[in-house]
């Protein structure tokens, strides 16, 4: 009988199941729960300041109209990020954090790491170099704790050139171009959306650049389990689930990391709890 593998959990946008996503409280609560890794998203304000928010439009998480790229940072950080649609007024005092505030929090937990996703909206608006320069200057004191991740391969190439310790390639469509990009980047992590992985993929292990068997029923999809030549150097991560059984199943397929919105709930699971971090 195969031994059950145990993934390391990543707190997706913090403990976002019960706290507003991408807020200081959501990240801090995830760290207190024992998350070894947290994940948060960064956009750039109109005056070039990196702020922690997923959407370029404010409406979903703040209840207000506005575009992050068009507002100055002093206006953005005054806006509640309490997700009123989900939580009403419960978290009305939680504001949109700057990346600087998030780095300051992370540095209080020096053994933990964060995946910082640079959002494509800001890349398209400001350009790759300006976005990376503005982010890099802020994360410099915590460079060993922060892993830059993105759907944009050029961002990751520049991040590596600029001395970022680790990078992660993210994709949500399972086709040959995704694997080709991963192979050209040779990142430390590759993130795949659970919903995009074909059921024919029984394991992530021993995947190589050869595309060995096409699935003709779905254009550009492929399986990668035959005629393997070597093991890729990256760790596989999948996103996201709030179900412990599903998380463990993905670990058995070879996913080292599993993202979850329910970090506290999953770390209460007897098996998953063995991979938590306790340094306080």
Please report, for the chain, the start and end positions of each structural domain, with discontinuous segments joined by +.
8-53+97-273
Tell me which residues are annotated as active site: 12, 54
Output the average pLDDT for the chain: 90
Mean pLDDT of 167-196: 91
- The pair of three-digit structure tokens given for residue 46, joined into one six-digit string: 């109109």
Instruction: Give pairs for 79-87: CB < 8 Å, separation 24+.
Output: 81/20, 81/22, 81/23, 81/53, 82/20, 82/23, 83/20, 83/21, 85/60, 86/20, 87/20
- Whole-model pTM? 0.91
Residue 279: pLDDT band with limits 50, 70, 90: confident
**Superfamily in which the 8-53+97-273 domain is placed by CATH:** Phosphatidylinositol (PI) phosphodiesterase (3.20.20.190)
Distance, CA of 14 to chain centre: 10
Tally of CB atoms within 10 A around 224: 24
What is the per-residue pLDDT across 100-138, written as a single tens digit (0 to 9) for each? 999 999 999 999 999 999 999 999 999 999 999 999 999
What is the per-residue pLDDT across 211-268, written as a single tens digit (0 to 9) for each? 333 333 444 443 443 333 445 679 999 999 999 999 999 999 999 999 999 999 999 9
- The pair of three-digit structure tokens given for residue 81, joined into one six-digit string: 């990020």
The residues facing 117 across adjacent strands are 41, 149
**pLDDT score, position 210:** 37
What is d(CA 141, CA 247) in angstroms, rounded to the nearest whole number? Answer: 33
**pLDDT score, position 200:** 83
What is d(CA 198, CA 271) in angstroms, rounded to the nearest whole number? Answer: 26
């Amino acid at each position: 009988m195969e031994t059950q593998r145990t993934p390391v959990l990543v707190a997706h946008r913090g403990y976002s199941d019960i706290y507003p996503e991408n807020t200081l409280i959501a990240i801090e609560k995830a760290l207190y729960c024992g998350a070894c890794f947290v994940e948060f998203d960064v956009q750039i304000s109109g005056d070039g300041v990196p702020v922690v928010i997923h959407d370029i439009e404010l409406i979903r998480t703040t209840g207000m109209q506005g575009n992050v790229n068009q507002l100055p940072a002093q206006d953005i950080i005054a806006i509640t990020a309490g997700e009123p649609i989900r939580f009403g007024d419960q978290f009305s005092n939680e504001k949109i954090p700057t990346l600087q505030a998030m780095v300051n929090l992370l540095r209080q937990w020096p053994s933990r790491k964060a995946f910082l996703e640079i959002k494509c909206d800001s890349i398209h608006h400001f350009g790759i170099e300006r976005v990376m320069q503005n982010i890099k200057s802020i994360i410099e004191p915590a460079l060993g704790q922060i892993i830059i991740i993105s759907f944009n391969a050029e961002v990751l190439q520049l991040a590596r050139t600029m001395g970022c310790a680790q990078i992660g390639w993210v994709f949500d469509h399972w086709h040959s171009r995704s694997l080709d990009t991963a192979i050209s980047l040779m990142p430390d992590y590759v993130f795949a959306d659970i919903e995009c992985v074909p059921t024919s993929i029984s394991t992530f292990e021993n995947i190589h650049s050869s595309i060995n068997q096409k699935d003709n029923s779905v254009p550009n999809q492929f399986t990668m389990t035959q005629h393997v030549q070597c093991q890729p150097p990256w760790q596989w991560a999948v996103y996201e689930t709030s179900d412990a059984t599903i998380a463990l199943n993905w670990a058995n397929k070879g996913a080292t990391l599993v993202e979850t919105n329910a970090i506290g709930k999953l770390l209460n699971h007897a098996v998953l709890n063995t991979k938590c971090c306790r340094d306080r």
